[in-house]
Amino acid sequence: MTTIKDVAVLAGVSFKTVSRVINRSPHVKEDVRQRVLRAADALEYRPHHHARHMRTQRSKVFGFLSDDIATTPFAGQIIQGAQEAAFRKEMLLLTFNTGGNAAVEQAAVEMAIERGVEGIIFATMYHRAVQVPKDAFRLPLVLVDCFSPDRSVRSVVPDEVSGGYSATKLLLEKGHRRIAMINANQKYPAAEGRFRGYRDALREYRLTIDPELVRLGGWWQDDGYEQTMALLKLKQIPTAIFCASDRIAMGAYDALKEQGLKIPGDMSVIGFDNQELLAAHSRPRLTTISIPYFEMGSWAVERLTNTAQDSDESPIRPVALPCPLIARSSVERPANRKLRNKDSAHIR
Amino acid sequence: MTTIKDVAVLAGVSFKTVSRVINRSPHVKEDVRQRVLRAADALEYRPHHHARHMRTQRSKVFGFLSDDIATTPFAGQIIQGAQEAAFRKEMLLLTFNTGGNAAVEQAAVEMAIERGVEGIIFATMYHRAVQVPKDAFRLPLVLVDCFSPDRSVRSVVPDEVSGGYSATKLLLEKGHRRIAMINANQKYPAAEGRFRGYRDALREYRLTIDPELVRLGGWWQDDGYEQTMALLKLKQIPTAIFCASDRIAMGAYDALKEQGLKIPGDMSVIGFDNQELLAAHSRPRLTTISIPYFEMGSWAVERLTNTAQDSDESPIRPVALPCPLIARSSVERPANRKLRNKDSAHIR
C-alpha cells in the first residue's frame, strides 16, 4: 500500500509538502505541485487512501454535514436514504447541522476528520451552489442537492428540468392549452430548471409562452394566493396552473376556492416537491412532482463506498436524478371549454 | 477509579457476573445480584463509568437513535436542539434512524457501543411509551418525547396537559363558552393530556363538558374536516374549536370555508404542534401550541453531559417541558353572539 511518505520520497519533497498539495493549499509552487501529483499518480496513490491508511483500523463512519436539512420538512429523507444505504454497508453517519454557517462548517469538518471519518457527505436543504470547507477535500466527498460552482466535486441533484417538463406534459396530455406557471423569482436551479421544463413541454406542442401566464413571486402559500388572484383577473384565464412548489399550490387552492372555482373541475393544479403534509392531505389531493431526496441520500453513500468508480473526469458534472410524477386528484381535462374561451371570464 | 474488576473482587463473583448485572440480564440469581449492587454502591461504581473507562480516551460522541424522527416534519428540531447543545460541549452525535424496528434498534445500540459512544439519546416521533433495547442500559441513557413504562429511565416529554389548558384558557379569556375539541381517538399521551388540559380549563370556568362538542377521530386534515362538518350540524354550534393537531385545524379550515364561515369572525380555531408549514402559512395564520422539540433535544444532551445530577431516585418521573402558546390570527372574541344562541344555527 502506498503511503504519503512513499510519495514524498519519490517526489523528493517533505511529508508536509505532499500534505499541502493534497489539501489544496495555495502555498505550494506550481512545479512542486506538479511533481507531487506525478509521483502520486505513478504510485497510484489517492488522497483518501491516505486518510484511511493513516489509522490502524477503519472507523466505518461517514460525516454527514447539512445546513438546515434536519429541521425542515423538505429533506429529512436525504438523511434516511443515506442512513439506510450506510446501514447496509455497516457504516454509520456522524451528523452535523451547521445552519449554513461557514465557521461551523469548517469546525464540523475538522471534528469529523479528527474522529477518523472515511468520507464526507455535504447536503443542503435546497438545490444550490455551495462553497465547501477546504479541509473536506482531504477525504472522499459527495455533495447532495447542491454543487460546487467550479465543478471540482462529485454531486447529485434533482433533475428540475425533467420535473417541470413532466408536470406541464401531463397538463398538455389532458388537453390543456392555456397553462399558467407560478414560479419563484429567483436565480436558483429549482426555479430556472422547472421553468425550462415548462417551456420545453409547451414547445413540443408548438405553443408559445404567454408572458401574462408566467407569474413570479416567492415559494410560499401567500405567493401562490396572490399570483392566482392575478391570473383570475386576466381577460382569458388559464385552465390549469403549474405551481413551482406545493406551498404555492396550497395558496392557489385558497384563492380558487375563495373565488368559488372547483379544483380540478374549473381549474387543474399541479405542484412540485411532494411535501406529504400538504400534497397528500389537501382537498383535493394534490398531483405533484416528487424530489428524489431519499435516492440522492442513498446515491451519495453508494458513491462513497465505491471509490473504484472514481475517475479523473474534470470538470465533474452533477448527476441529476429523475423527479417522478405523483398523480393524485387535482388534474383533469378542461371540462368547461366555454369558460375558457369566453372573454367574460373575469371572476367576481 | 473503580473498575468493574474491583466490584467483582469485592462481591466475590466473576467479571462476567458483574457485567450481567449491569446489563440487567435475567440470568443472575437475586442474592448474587444484590451482592453485586451492594459492592458497586460501596465502591461508588457507576455502570457508565465502566463504559467510559474501558477506553483509553473519550470518544466525545453520543449515539442518537430515533424511529422516524429525521423523516417527519414534526421533530427534526429535536436533532437540532441536541446537536447545538452537543456542539457547545464539543460532543458529536452519531445518528441512527431505526424506523422503529426492534432488531434495527438493537443493532444500532451495539454499533454505537462498539464505536465507544459515551451515552445514548433515544427519541421518538411522537410522545409514547417505548421498550428500550436492553444493551442501551449499559450507558447513560435519556429518552426524548417518550418514556419507559417501568419508569426506570430518565426521559423528557412535552407537557401535553398544560398545552391543552393554555389553548382552552385563551378561548375562554376571549369570551368563548361553547368550545368544541376535535381530538384523536387514541390512548396516546398527546390525545389524553391535551383533553385533560381542555377539561381542566373548562372546570376552572365552572363549565361542564358538553359531550357532543368533543369529537374523536384521527390526527389528519380529513378528520378535522369531517368532525367540523359534524359540529356544524349541531343545533347549537360552537363559537370556537380547539384542534388537537394543526393538521386537524387545517381540515377544520377547509370545512368552515366551504360552509361560508369566516375564521375567526364566525369561528375561532386553535391548533396544536406549531407545524410551521401549516400554521405559519395558512389563511388566516393559525394560533397554536408549540411542542418544545428543540428544548427536549437540548435537555437530553445537557442531562447526559451532567451525570453529577444522577441520583438513585426510583421510579424516575419524566420531565415535562412547557408547550408555549403561539398567538397568530385565528382566534378572536365571539362576535356574532346571536348566531351562537339561536337554535336555527344550522349551516346550509
- What is the chain B residue with the closest CA to A254? B283
Q: Which residue has the higher pLDDT, B247 or A44?
A: B247
* Among candidate residues A248, A231, A133, A118, the one with its CA nearest the CA of residue A191: A248
β-bridge mates for residue A321, sequence order: A158
Compare all CA atoms of chain A with the CA of B280 and give the residue at the minimum distance: A221
In this prediction, residue A176 has a pLDDT band, given cuts at 50, 70 and 90, of: very high
B79 to chain A: closest CA residue: A70
- Alpha-carbon span B201 to A339, nearest angstrom: 52
- A214 by Cβ neighbours in 10 Å (0-12 / 13-18 / 19+) ranks as middle
Q: What is the pLDDT of residue B209?
A: 96
Q: Do residue A304 and residue A331 come from a single domain?
A: no
Band (pLDDT 50/70/90 cuts) for residue B336 is low
Residue A187 lies in a domain: yes
* Nearest chain B residue to A112, by CA: B92
User: In Å, how far is A304's CA from the nearest CA of chain B?
Assistant: 18
- On whether both B210 and B331 belong to a single domain, the answer is yes
HEC-encoded secondary structure of B183-243: EECCCCHHHHHHHHHHHHHHHHCCCCCCHHHEEEECCCHHHHHHHHHHHHCCCCCCCEEEE
Smallest CA–CA separation between A208 and chain B, in Å?
A: 34
Give the nearest partner residue to B73 out of A73, A90, A225, using CB atoms.
A73
Question: Which member of B70, B257, B278 has the closest CB to residue A79?
Answer: B70
Q: Are residues B181 and B305 in the same domain?
A: no
Using the structure block, give the residue that is written with the C-alpha cell 392566482.
Answer: A228
Tell me how long chain A is. Answer: 348
CB within 8 A of B65, min separation 6: which ones?
B95, B96, B98, B105, B108, B109, B112, B120, B121, B122, B123, B136
Q: pLDDT over 70 for what percent of chain B? A: 87
Distance (Å) of CA A256 to CA A126, A171, A226, A274, B85 = 28, 18, 11, 20, 45
For residues A196 and A238, membership in a common domain is answered with: yes
Q: Which domain holds residue A269?
A: 160-291+327-341
Residue B125 dihedral angles phi and psi, to the nearest 5°: -80, -15
Mean pLDDT across the stretch A234-243? 97
pLDDT value at position A75? 64
Residue A265 lies in a domain: yes
Q: B124 and B26 in one domain?
A: no
To the nearest whole number, what is the mean pLDDT of chain A?
86
State the pairing for strand pair B61-66/B120-129: parallel
B69 and B134 both lie in a single domain: yes
pLDDT computed for residue A112 by the predictor: 82
B347 inside domain: no
CA distance A275 to A228: 20
Whether the pLDDT of residue B347 is over 50: the answer is no
Cis peptide before B334 (omega within 30 of 0): no
Do A82 and A231 belong together in one domain?
no
Residue B241 and residue B168 share a domain: yes
Q: How far A283 CA lies from chain B's nearest CA (Å)?
A: 8
From the CA atom positions of chain B, what is the Rg in Å? 25
What are B290's three cell numbers?
Answer: 408549540
Contact B281 A71 (CB under 8 A): no
In this structure, the strands spanning B141-147 and B154-158 are parallel
Give the pLDDT confidence of B185-214 residue by residue, as tens digits.
Answer: 988 999 999 999 999 999 999 999 999 999
Which chain A residues contact residue B282 at CB under 8 A? 221
Whether the bond between B264 and the residue before it is cis, its omega within 30 degrees of 0, is yes
Same domain, B208 and B336: yes
| Residue among A222, A251, A281 whose CB faces B247 most closely | A281
Q: Rounding to the nearest 10 degrees, give the CA dihedral for residues B278, B279, B280, B282.
A: 70
Q: Could you count the other beta carbons within 10 Å of the beta carbon of residue B188?
A: 15
Percent of chain B with pLDDT over 90: 51
SS (H, E, C) B94-152: EEEECCCCHHHHHHHHHHHHHCCCCCEEEEEEEEEECCCCHHHHHCCEEEEEEECCCCC
Read off the pLDDT of residues B74-101 as tens digits, 9 standing for 90 and up.
667 888 889 889 888 888 888 787 777 7
CA A288 to chain centre: 16
CB B20 within 8 A of CB B87: no
* B102 and B233 inside one domain: no
Interface contacts A/B by beta carbons within 8 Å: 104
B293-311 pLDDT per residue, tens: 999 999 999 999 886 666 6
Among B282, B309, B279, which residue's Cα sits nearest to residue B291?
B279
Residue A180, in any domain of the structure: yes
Q: Does B111 contact A92 at a Cβ distance shorter than 8 Å?
A: yes
CA distance, residue A54 to nearest chain B CA (Å): 18
**Alpha-carbon A315 to chain mean position:** 19
Cis peptide before A264 (omega within 30 of 0): yes
User: Is residue B348, in this structure, part of any structural domain at all?
Assistant: no
pLDDT for the residue numbered A311: 63
Higher pLDDT, A9 or A312: A9
Of B185, B180, B186, B211, which Cα lies nearest the Cα of B198? B180
Nearest to B70 among A76, A104, A278 (CB): A76
Inter-chain contact A94–B61, Cβ cutoff 8 Å? Answer: yes
Residues B244 and B272 sit within 8 Å (Cβ to Cβ): yes
Residue B64 with chain A: CB contacts under 8 Å: 95
CA distances from A297 to A80, A118, A119, A126, B69 (A): 7, 16, 14, 14, 16
Q: Which of A105-109, A339-343, B36-40, B115-119 has the lowest mean pLDDT?
A: A339-343
What is the distance between the alpha carbons of residues B270 and B245, in angstroms, rounded to a whole number? 9
Average pLDDT score over residue span A109-126:
86
ipTM of the complex, rounded to two decimals: 0.77
Closest chain A residue to the Cα of B69, Cα to Cα: A76
Across residues B219-237, what is the average pLDDT? Answer: 97
Q: Could you tell me which residues are beta bridge partners of residue A3?
A: none
Mean pLDDT highest for which of A108-117, A195-204, B52-61, B133-142? Answer: A195-204
- Helix, strand, or coil here: A206? coil
pLDDT digits (tens, 9 = 90+) for B26-52: 678 888 888 888 888 788 776 553 343
Q: How far is A215 from chain B (nearest CA, A)?
A: 20
B51 in a structural domain:
no
Q: Which helix (H) or strand (E) holds B289?
A: strand B288-289
B281 and A221 within 8 Å at the Cβ level: the answer is: yes
Cα torsion through B214, B220, B221, B225, rounded to 10: -30
Mean predicted confidence (pLDDT) in A316-329: 95
Classify residue A70: in a domain, yes or no. yes
Q: Which of A77, A95, A254 sits opposite B283 (nearest CB)?
A: A254
> What integer pLDDT is reported at residue B51 of this predicted model?
43
**Contact yes or no for B1/B53 (Cβ under 8 A):** yes
The Cα B240–Cα B234 span in angstroms is 14
The tally of domains found in chain B comes to: 3
Residues β-bridged to residue B270: B242, B287
Distance CA(B57)–CA(B43), nearest Å, equals 22
Q: How many CB atoms lie within 10 A of CB A228?
A: 30
Shared-domain flag, residues A110 and A153:
yes
pLDDT tens for A281-298 read 999 999 999 999 999 999
Q: Report the chain A residue with the minimal C-alpha distance to residue B247.
A: A277
Instruction: Please check whether residues A65 and A206 belong to one and the same domain.
Output: no
pLDDT at A32 over 80: yes
Provide the pLDDT for residue B71: 54
Q: Supply the CATH number for residue A233's domain.
A: 3.40.50.2300
Disruptive mutation site among A93, A97, A118, A226 for chain B (greatest number of B CBs within 10 Å): A97
Cut 0.90: pTM above it: no
Collapsing DSSP to helix, strand or coil, A120 comes out as strand
Q: Which of A92, A104, A295 to mutate to test the interface with B (most CBs of B within 10 A)?
A: A92
Residue A184 lies in a domain: yes
Cβ of B76 and A77 within 8 Å? Answer: no
Whether omega before B315 lies within 30 degrees of 0, making that bond cis, reads: yes
Asked if residues B69 and B123 have their Cβ atoms less than 8 Å apart, the reply is yes
Whole-number average pLDDT of chain B: 86
Chain B interface with A: residues with Cβ < 8 Å: 59, 61, 64, 70-73, 76-77, 79-80, 83-84, 87, 90, 92-97, 104, 111, 115, 220-222, 225, 247, 250-251, 254, 257-258, 275, 277-278, 281-283
Q: Do B277 and A281 touch (CB under 8 A)?
A: no
Instruction: Report chain A residues touching chain B, CB-CB < 8 A.
Output: 59-61, 64, 70-73, 76-77, 79-80, 83-84, 87, 90, 92-97, 104, 111-112, 115, 220-222, 225, 247, 250-251, 254, 257-258, 275, 277-278, 281-283
C-alpha torsion sign, points A110, A111, A115, A119: negative
Q: Which three cell numbers stand for residue B318?
A: 419524566
